[in-house]
Amino acid sequence: DTEVTQTPKHLVMGMTNKKSLKCEQHMGHRAMYWYKQKAKKPPELMFVYSYEKLSINESVPSRFSPECPNSSLLNLHLHALQPEDSALYLCASSRSPNTGELFFGEGSRLTVL
Amino acid sequence: GQQLNQSPQSMFIQEGEDVSMNCTSSSIFNTWLWYKQDPGEGPVLLIALYKAGELTSNGRLTAQFGITRKDSFLNISASIPSDVGIYFCAGRDGGATNKLIFGTGTLLAVQP
């Protein structure tokens, strides 16, 4: 079962709102990732968690705050976002950090008004 | 961030035709992955390659890890309408973080 589950599938929020994106995998993978993707562009890496610790932050603005409560869960907390932050946010996981294959969720489509 | 050069940027073909796309890098890679993404969905892994010269098939799809380790190719034989989507290559350069770097994508349209 190569499944990464993301919720919600769609989210609309105002610039003053606080919301969270959630990701879950039960494949025993020890690395989890957040990517941001604009239309017709490749995914851009935001954060990498290795063994539940943040290992890579690609200079992402602090209005995006990741959290890894346990090895199966990954959250992305959103606060004071800008309209240009509207995008598809993808969660992925891999068996080991930064090796091998990444398996992606279906994504959360975020619209910031 | 760093991106891989992927070509062609888009392809418009007739059902039944074969398709070829490739990905090149200025540096050596130790892993090549090929993904397909449908609109509004996440990328789905098609093929993974780990050795220079490796040729791997998945149904009508065949991908190769270039012998120079700086490129990879994906071929789709006898295309069908459900092959429509954006195809991304992705590679790991084996550097300190060994991050996955994505290609710019190839948009495939198949005319029935």
Contacts of A92 in chain B (CB under 8 A): 42
Enumerate the β-bridge partners of residue B33: B48, B90
Q: Which residue has the tokens 């050596």?
A: B28
Q: Are B24 and B44 in contact (CB under 8 A)?
A: no
pLDDT in the model for residue B2: 65
pLDDT in the model for residue B98: 77
Q: Are A21 and A89 in contact (CB under 8 A)?
A: yes
Nearest to residue A108, comparing CAs of A70, A78, A71? A78
Cβ–Cβ below 8 Å for A102 and B31: no
pLDDT in tens, B48-107: 999 999 999 999 999 999 999 999 999 999 999 999 999 999 998 877 777 889 999 999
pLDDT in the model for residue A43: 95
- Kindly identify which residue of chain B lies nearest to residue A36, measuring between CA atoms: B42
pLDDT in tens, A69-81: 999 999 999 999 9
Rounded to an integer, the average pLDDT of B17-43 is 94
Strands B31-37 and A10-13: unpaired
Nearest to residue B31, comparing CAs of B89, B84, B106, B86? B89
CB-based contact (8 Å) between B9 and chain A? Answer: no
Taking 50 as the pLDDT cut, the residues of chain A under it are none
- CA distance to partner chain A, nearest, from residue B31 (Å): 7
Distances (CA, A) of A103 to A5, A78, B68: 10, 23, 27
- CA distance to partner chain B, nearest, from residue A10 (Å): 10
pLDDT in the model for residue A2: 60
- Kindly identify which residue of chain A lies nearest to residue B1, measuring between CA atoms: A44
* Distance (Å, whole) CA A35 – CA A44: 5
- Asked if pLDDT for residue B1 goes beyond 60, the answer is no
pLDDT in the model for residue A1: 52
pLDDT in the model for residue B58: 96
Q: Are A92 and A4 in contact (CB under 8 A)?
A: yes
pLDDT in the model for residue B96: 72
> Could you tell me the two tokens for A19?
């919301």
Contacts of B31 in chain A (CB under 8 A): 99-100
